[in-house]
Chain A
Amino acid sequence: MKKEAWTLLRAVGAAAEADLLDAEKSLGLLDARPAAVLRRRRILRTALLAAILSALFVGTAYAVWRIELSRKLTPSVVAGQIGAPPTETAEQKYYLAEYGFADSPEARASQEMWDYYWTYTERRGQECLDQGLGYYDWIDEDDDWYTGDPELEALHTIYGADNLEMAEKFLEIRDRYGLKLHSREIISPSQEEFYALSGVEPFCFPPSGEEAVPCKTIYEDGSFVLEGLLWTGEGPSPFVLTRNLPGVLPAGSLLVACPEEYEQWEAVNRFGNSLSFALRSRYPDPGAFTDNAPEVDHLLVFYEQEGVSVTLTVGPATEAISRENAEALADCFDFEKACGK
C-alpha cells in the first residue's frame, strides 16, 4: 500500500458539504428505512412530503371553494407504496397540479412526463432484474450524454432525466405543450441572493422570528421551492412552499391519494390573503415501511394571483394539525408577496 493512498483517503474528507449531504441522503445513511427502496423514492421525495392524499371526488357541494382540490388532481400511473411490491389493494394516486388546475398545459405536461418516467423506469428496471442485474443498472451514469448541451444538462440535473432517451421524451412533451424548461437552478442561495433572484419581498414571518427556510431552490425564471420546519401545535413538521410561474414545465411532482378524507375550507390570513385549505387528519404514515405506521396529518394551502400559483404543504406530520393550527401556519407567510405582487 502506498503512503500516498492514505493521503488521498484523508483528502477525500474535504469533499464539499453539498456533495456529502447529497451522498448521505441517496445512500440512506440517515434513514432507518430499508435501503433498497431509498433510491426509488428519490424523484418523488418532495412529493412524499405531500404524499398520498385520497379521493376527493365526492359529490358534495364543494364548488364554494375558491380553489377546489379535485380540480387540481389528475390520476397517475403510480399505485401503492413507492418502492414496495404492488398489491391488489394499492390505492390510486393523483398528481397535484403545482401550477393552475389539472387541465392547464403545465399540469398536463407534468402528468405526462411523470407517467412516462415511472412507466419507463419500471419497465427498464424489471428488464434488468430479469437479467439478474440491479434495478437501476439501465441508468447511464456517465455525463457524456448531457455534457456540453445546457438543455440536456438541465433535464438531467433539474428534471431527473436518467438517460438520453428519457431526456428526448421530456423535450417532446415540452414542445407539444408549448412550454419552457427551467434552465438553471441555484440551491441554497443566501437570504439576500434569494430575494434578489426571485424579485419578491420577504414573505416568511415565523412566530419565532428566526430563519424558517433553511433549504431553498430557486430557478432562473423566479420559480422556487422552499423546504423547512414549522411548529404545528406541539412539535415541528416539514413544510414545502412552491411558487410556480405560467409557461414553465414544473420540475417537481406532488403525489396525493384518498381525496374524500380531506376537509376543505377557505379563510383569510393575517396578511389579508384569501386561502383555500385542505386537511387530512390522522391517517397511517404513507412513508412508513412498518405495519404499525404512526398516524399523521397532511395540510395543503393554495393561493393564486394573476397567473402565479403558490402552494404550501405541511406534513405528513406526526403532530396533529387542527384547523386553528392550519390557519396559524398560514399566518407565517404573506402569500401575496410570495407571488411577487
Chain B
Amino acid sequence: MNDTEIVDLYWQRSDRAIKETDRKYGPYCRTIAYNILHNPEDTEECVDDTWMGAWGSRPDKRPARLSAFLGRITRNLALNRITWQNSQRRGGGELPLALEELGDCVPSAFNLEEELEARELEEKLRRFISGLPKAQRRVFLGRYYYLLSVEELAERLGFSQSKVKSMLFRARKNLLDYLEVGA
C-alpha cells in the first residue's frame, strides 16, 4: 500500500490506517525508538504512541513519503520519555555516547537555552545539517538523529570505522565553529 492510500485511510478514520502503517513503517519506527530508549517494552509503547499521534494529527499535507513524518514523531516521543538528567542512566545504548560527543560542540561559556530560542536553534541546526557535504550529512544524521553506532554506520555506508569517526569529528568541529560564530 502506498503512502497516499495510507493517508487516505487516516482521513477516512479507518482502523486499517494503523495496521497498514505498522506493517510498512513499524520496523523503521521501532529502530528509531529502540536506539533512543534501549528497552523493548518502552519501544513498543512509544511506537503505539506514534500511531496514536499520527491518528490524532491526520497527516494532512499528503507527504510523498510518510517515513520522515512518522520517524520525527517517534523520535520526539522517545526523547520525551527521558530527560537529560537521566539520559546517561538509560540502558547501554548510543544515547549517552552521542550526548557526550555533542557536548564537544557547545561553545564554552555559552548557554544555548539562554542565548537562543528553541526555534532559532532548530533553524540553525537545520541549515547547518543541510550545508554539510553529502557523506558527512548522512553520517551526522545517522549518528545524532537515528542514534546508530559507529560500527553500524560503517557497515551500512561501506566506510571503515576510523573513517566514520573522522567524519563525525570533522562534522562536530564544524558545528562548534558554526555555533561560535552565532555566539
Interface residues of A (CB under 8 A from B): 1-24, 26-30, 32, 35-36, 38-40, 128, 132-137, 139, 141-143, 156-157, 188, 210-211, 214-215, 229, 236
Contacts and interface: CB of A to CB of B under 8 A. Distances in A.
Q: Which of A1, A3, A23, A141 has the most CB of B within 10 A?
A: A141
A5 B148 CA distance: 17
Interface size grouping (class) on chain B: 35 or more
B57 interface: no
Contact of B148 (A1, A3, A27): A27
Interface in B148-165: 148, 152-161, 163
Nearest to A30: B28
Nearest to B139: A141
Interface in B30-68: 31, 62-65, 67-68
Contact of B99 (A5, A35, A132, A211): A5
7 contacts: A12-B145, A15-B126, A32-B27, A36-B156, A36-B158, A134-B158, A134-B163
Interface string B77-113: 0010001100110000000101110110110001111
B145 A13 contact: yes
B12 interface: no
B112 to A, nearest CB: 4
Given A24-B71, A26-B157, A236-B2, A12 B112 contact: no
Contact of A4 (B64, B106, B133): B106
Contacts of A11: 118, 121-122, 124-125
Contact of A27 (B2, B63, B113, B146): B146
Given A6-B99, A27-B157, A139-B135, 15 more contacts: A4-B106, A7-B112, A7-B118, A9-B98, A9-B99, A11-B121, A12-B129, A17-B68, A20-B141, A27-B156, A28-B156, A29-B146, A35-B155, A134-B161, A135-B158
B135 A141 contact: yes
Nearest to B122: A14
A318 to B, nearest CB: 13
Contacts of A12: 125, 129, 141, 144-145
Contact of A214 (B64, B75, B112, B156): B64
B155 A36 contact: yes
Nearest to B156: A35
B144 A137 contact: no
B125 A141 contact: no
A8 to B, nearest CB: 5
A11 B103 CA distance: 13
